[in-house]
Amino acid sequence: MDINLFKLCSGLKVLGYFMILLVAAIIAVSYYAVVVITCGPQLLRGGVHSFFGFSIIILFHILLVMLVWSYVMVVFWDPGSVPENWRSVSVSSSSSSGVNLEAGTSSQSLDNVGPDARGPSRSVGFCDRCQNGKPPRCHHCSVCQRCVLKMDHHCVWVVNCVGARNYKSFLLFLLYTFLETTMDTLVLLPSFIKFFGKAKNHSSSPANLAIVFLAFVINLAFALSLLCFIVMHSSLVSSNTTSIEVYEKKRTVRWKYDLGRKKNFEQVYPVQLHLWLQELQNEQRR
């Protein structure tokens, strides 16, 4: 009996749902440690202490709202699916309708797909598992069991692929989470330094000490790891490369999708506000 090992990868979705619960738990622990235990009592002291505590609480909630918003977007937005029964003949029609299958966004220009990926020379493949056409820079995800436009990777933390249409939300999620965890680490640092003295003298609740200690370690670990991810993806964005394409890029003298740092950045983050709003409206219609 033949066993398709790729179908076993779909079991990682179960792990992804657990990761969502883990993210919620980390947020809850950090919230209790920073807002309730650390900054809450500062509000009652008055003066500079109250101002400092109030400012930290406001900043914490702003970053938390932006973090949760970007997380929900990357979880629920379609990363970029290939239309059913798509073939190379549909390239011209899809381009005329404003949909760029390769970039995976509502494209205002075909320039963002690269000079070697446009026109009649566009190389179109075929996915045996999806039994469908495969545009350039499109890859099949063994977890989602579908092809994803400009796929970067499958992220178990968001139970979704990171592709053309949710890559911007993914990068914002990394940025806001890094800022949040860095701020939490700095706020909890004095309490962490005093942790061992308070634990020895039994001057604070053991439960509160444990929560502060756990929150500090978790936020520090995430801040350091996210810094590495942000640096890596900043490099990828600047060269218009995905994580999957890194190895392919090393074998070429000049990366065919590299349009220059400014245009590469604008492909992910439209500079014009009306383009950004139009993109949001198109996603809401889907």
- The 10s digit of each residue's pLDDT in 86-107 is 765 444 444 443 345 444 443 4
Residue 110 included in any domain: no
161 is catalytic: no
- Greater confidence, 121 or 189? 189
Higher pLDDT among residues 31 and 133, named by residue = 31
In a domain, 148, yes or no: no
Domain that holds residue 23: 5-84+156-284
Annotated catalytic residue, options 39, 141, 155, 161: 155
Q: What are phi and psi of 129, to 5 degrees?
A: -80, -40
Indicate whether 62 belongs to any domain.
yes
Q: Does residue 166 lie in a domain region? A: yes
DSSP summary character for residue 122: -
Confidence band of 174 (pLDDT split at 50, 70, 90)? very high
Is residue 275 over pLDDT 70?
A: no
Q: What's residue 95's pLDDT?
A: 41
Q: Is residue 105 part of a domain?
A: no
**Nearest-CA neighbor of 106 among 170, 167, 162, 165?**
165
* Torsion (CA) 177, 178, 180, 183 in degrees, nearest 10: 170
Q: Which residues on neighbouring strands pair with residue 62, listed in sequence order?
A: none
Domain total of the chain: 1
**Average pLDDT of the residues in 154-160:** 88
Span 144-155, pLDDT tens digits: 888 898 899 988
- Between CA 162 and CA 168 the distance in angstroms is 9
